[in-house]
Amino acid sequence: MSSGKIGFGEYLHQLRTAKGFSQKIVADKLGIDISMLSKIEHGERHVQKHMLLGISELFDLDLNKLQFDFLKNKIELEYSQDPYFKDVVVEIAKKNIKENKR
């Protein structure tokens, strides 16, 4: 995913148009209808985790990186405005670093 602050749906739209794929091709691969894909691309609905494998296969993306970006985007959208967001993220990171050193 690009480093800019775009939603996952907009990212999916950029991938689709760059490859020249129709909404039908992408929707069929993800097991959803065109209307749902349009809503995802316009930020009215969100990509679901189960769609990531299809996205990675269709656009030849690394699934692990895509899952990382998906989770990062989801957390940022859901919690980044919370006043304790940064403190919680730092605490979780510190805890995980300690556990990995053991």
Tens-place pLDDT, residues 89-101 = 999 999 988 887 7
Q: Assign 52 to helix, strand or coil.
A: helix
Nearest to 55 by CA among 88, 30, 21: 30
Structure confidence at residue 3 as a pLDDT band (50, 70, 90):
very low
Give the domain range for residue 95: 8-101
Residue 36 lies in a domain: yes
CATH no. for residue 83?
A: 1.10.260.40
Residue 1 lies in a domain: no
- Residue 46 near residue 73, CB atoms below 8 Å: no
pTM for the structure as a whole = 0.78
- Residue 77 near residue 7, CB atoms below 8 Å: yes
Interval 37-51: pLDDT, tens:
999 999 999 899 999
Residue 49: half-sphere exposure toward Cβ, Cα within 13 Å: 6
Interval 13-46: pLDDT, tens:
999 999 999 999 999 999 999 999 999 999 999 8
Q: Assign 38 to helix, strand or coil.
A: helix
Number of domains in the chain: 1
